[in-house]
Amino acid sequence: MYAKQTQIVNRTGLHARPATEFVRTAQRYQSKITVQNLEKEGATPVNAKSLMGLLAAGLGRGMRIAIAAEGTDEVKAVEALVALVESGFGE
């Protein structure tokens, strides 16, 4: 398993458009990938390949998250998703 923490920097957080972009990127990888809200104690990690799961997590600007993956391409998957989040989704 490989995991990394990052912070959501785009103005609107993971609303529909950036969440869709996040899911599409996650789906390129074979690994099982999760996202966990580190701001909410006891928050359950959600499937990074599920748009509904990401939207339900309510991830907004400034929130710290952990992206974790397990599988053959886990490092590439996490690094790509962290880079996407830190880029602000082009917003």
The catalytic residue positions are: 15
Burial class (CB in 10 A: 0-12, 13-18, 19+), 41: exposed
Tell me the C-alpha to C-alpha distance, in Å, between residue 72 and each of 3, 4, 66.
14, 17, 19
